Chains A and B, each alone.
Chain A
Amino acid sequence: MAVAKTSKTAANVPQSQEELISGSEAVAQALRLADVDVISAYPIRPYDTVMQYVSKLIADGRLDCEFIVAESEHSQFEIVKHACSVGARAFCGSSGVGWMYAMECLAVTPSLRLPYLAICGNRALDDPGAFGTEHNDAMCVRDLGWMLYWVETAQEALDMTLIGYRAAEDQRLSLPCALCLDGAFLTHSAQIVSVPPQDLVNSYLPRFDLGDRVLHPDNPISIAPQANEDWLMEIRKQMDAAMRRAPEVIREAHGEFHRAFGRQGGSPFIEEYMTDDAETVLVGMGTMASPVRVMVRKLRAQGEKVGFVRVKWFRPFGTDEIRTSLQRFKAVGVVDRDFSLGAADMGGVLYNDVRATMYDAQRRPVISGFIAGLGGREIEEKDVLEMFRRTQQAGADGRGGEVTWIGVRE
């Protein structure tokens, strides 16, 4: 079992450094600190900026790893999967159609229980070609055993890379983990980031150890022989059992991180903003949190009881936290930066997950759904205002279930 000691920051220990870097560079810095062994790259905007920073770190001798520029995303993800099988800490990533090109490899990795880390720089799926953010790419693996986290800031990108490895590699889970970064808004925007010193990271993140599942001549196992109906259901149930353990392991990983670095305290699953006495809240993931928070402050200044709940870990879904949180409110509006055409009430993926979560709540709020910001369209203050107004109105009418596309030209 992967257990790390919490380090006490002593006076002579090197301190963290503040740097003005993008979300992508923050991930690259974390990969350096995590001493990653194998990285495979293939170009696609916007995620590939991570790989540009990685290659520079390697070129400058600051990161010692095998860096393979693959000839396709399929190979990229197979390369890291197999590197991971021999015990190497591995990293990979993609965006949009690139992520989809790797889909087969993404699909098989959780059942192999190979815990590498990937980023999905969220991008709209072609056609037509579009660079902007949309969550459907990463959402495609949501049922398969990938742990998924939606990042908001560059600091969080760095921190979550370390937390992600720690949780994923924990032998109670041994599941792959993807960090989702909104294309452009996060991958390409510079923010002040505190970059921790190496020894602090070393004390937080133990060395990767696959134990008796490592592929090596000293451990001559066969991995993933054909199973069929004899055994597949048991194997799936083991994956389910691992995912059921994930919330606890995630809480531990965040807790230890908070103790060691002083960040990422609070719930790993949700972050509430101005919700104390709120009656109406919006719920969403990723960088949309910024414009929503701005609007929350403006409406609060006018005396309105509004707030925001950001969903952070999406798989595993913070069922308990979300249920406990949202049942306090009268009206909830869920903002999806994805679409799920033909789904229940024609709602987005997050919307229907939230509704399923609230079905067994003691008190059910009225829940409205919104599809917003697709293809990287900015979610502006007026859009947030409209979503609050519609959510409030639905609450007043006691009638949920309506899904509205926001900011669409007629």
Chain B
Amino acid sequence: MAVLEQWRGVKAIPDIEYFASGHRTCQGCESVLVMRYIAKAAGPRTIVTGTTGCMYVANTSYYSTPWTIPWMHSQLGAAGSSAMGTAAGLKALMRKGKIKDEPINVIAFCGDGGGADMGLSAISAALTHEDYNLLMVLYDNESYANTDIQLSGSTPWGAVTTFSPAGTKHRIMHRRWKKNTPGLLAAGHSGQSKFIGTACASYGLDFMNKVRRALSAGGPTFLHTLDPCPKGWHYDPELSHEIGSLAVETGIWPLYEVNEGKLSFTGPTRNILLGRAKRKPVREYLAKQGRFAHFTDEDYDYFQRKVDDMWEHWMIPGVVAFEMDPRDASLLQK
């Protein structure tokens, strides 16, 4: 595996880009910034695979690929398996002396549809294969964006999508709470994976250093990013960064990583936990986005209560979504 040192401050980040021009994503698309960041952080000795979705269809067109590092499409549910296949192929060829033995990063990305829904079992499986050095990045724009913004298991409660329009009989068509994908993978796999974490492109340095820590950790690793999507979330493209920051500052999207079995929080999330900053009301985040424009006060309250719950009642705030039964709480105190 590669050993990539941490970048201490933005000035340490090299100018060179490995994800260049040529893509056709929307103005203000944060997911495409995720692509740029992971390529930059990983460097040229990297192979990337990507599942179907905006970061394929809008991003990587025949004769105008933005990738200057090797890149290959994989099927919608195949981030985990494409990473495994790539890493296994390299490993066998290197061990058998058929190609030069050298560190090559293997990164597979997928959207929330491809990763949190369809491809979850392959991602989970890949995280059990400690023999393979690979990083899976789930870029979460909270919908099946490429197919016209349909709800996924990662879409927030109440959001309007093309499968969950606000109607006269049903104001809220999407009544499922967002799946806690990084939490479930961290809880289930941190014994096998040395790095499972979350990130947001509004915090570029934190983001890229997480990619570099994951790639240097060895074995299978996972990073889940929250990416504001102007088209699907209905807001002015110039607000992308701000909305990403608000997701973190309201406590909706906690930044953390589980590194070699140790949990640590980063960025504003850490400050909230340290009491240095107060969580902003979720309304500040939600009200900026057209997908929540139909929300009533009641809806905002419900959303706020669910987020409060996550911070006040979860066993580990923002990560582990349950608490001890008070009758058994003492069992763990010994």
Chain A residues close to B by CB (< 8 Å): 35, 37-38, 40, 64-66, 68, 70-72, 74-76, 78-88, 90, 104-105, 108, 207, 215-217, 219-228, 230-231
A37 x B98 contact (CB < 8 A): yes
Q: Which 3 A-B pairs have the closest CB atoms?
A: A82-B85, A83-B89, A88-B89
Q: Which residues of B contact A217 (CB under 8 A)?
A: 44-47, 69-70, 104
Q: Which residues of A contact B90 (CB under 8 A)?
A: 86, 88
Which residues 47-99 in B have Cβ within 8 Å of A in the complex?
Answer: 47, 49, 56-57, 60-65, 67-75, 77-78, 80-86, 88-93, 95-96, 98-99
Among B45, B56, B90, the most chain A Cβ lie within 10 Å of the Cβ of B90
Chain B residues close to A by CB (< 8 Å): 44-47, 49, 56-57, 60-65, 67-75, 77-78, 80-86, 88-93, 95-96, 98-99, 104, 121-122, 124-125, 129, 131
B72 x A88 contact (CB < 8 A): no
A224 x B72 contact (CB < 8 A): yes
What does DSSP make chain A's interface, helix, strand, loop or mixed? mixed
Q: How far is the CA of A224 from the CA of B64 in the complex (A)?
A: 12
What does DSSP make chain B's interface, helix, strand, loop or mixed? mixed
Q: Which of B75, B88, B124 contacts A108 (CB 8 A)?
A: B75
Among B46, B84, B121, the most chain A Cβ lie within 10 Å of the Cβ of B84
A221 x B70 contact (CB < 8 A): yes
With A222-B65, A226-B56 as given contacts, are A85 and B84 in contact (CB-CB < 8 Å)? Answer: no
A107 CB to closest chain B CB, in angstroms?
Answer: 9
With A74-B78, A75-B78, A222-B67 as given contacts, are A83 and B96 in contact (CB-CB < 8 Å)? Answer: no
Q: Which of A37, A71, A74 contacts B124 (CB 8 A)?
A: A71
Q: How far is the CA of A88 from the CA of B88 in the complex (A)?
A: 9
Q: Which of B45, B69, B92, B121 contacts A37 (CB 8 A)?
A: B92
B122 x A64 contact (CB < 8 A): no
B134 CB to closest chain A CB, in angstroms?
Answer: 11
B92 x A72 contact (CB < 8 A): no
Q: How far is the CA of A75 from the CA of B79 in the complex (A)?
A: 9
Interface contacts beyond A80-B85, A87-B93, A222-B71: sample of 16 additional A-B pairs, CB < 8 Å, sorted by A: A38-B88, A64-B92, A66-B88, A68-B88, A72-B121, A81-B85, A82-B81, A86-B47, A88-B92, A207-B98, A215-B70, A215-B72, A217-B44, A221-B71, A223-B72, A225-B65
With A37-B89, A72-B121, A221-B70 as given contacts, are A64 and B95 in contact (CB-CB < 8 Å)? Answer: yes
- Which B residue's beta carbon lies closest to that of A82? B85
B256 CB to closest chain A CB, in angstroms?
Answer: 26
B82 x A78 contact (CB < 8 A): yes
Q: Which residues of B contact A228 (CB under 8 A)?
A: 62
A240 CB to closest chain B CB, in angstroms?
Answer: 19
B291 CB to closest chain A CB, in angstroms?
Answer: 26
Q: Which residues of A contact B82 (CB under 8 A)?
A: 78-79, 81-82
Q: How far is the CA of A84 from the CA of B63 in the complex (A)?
A: 23
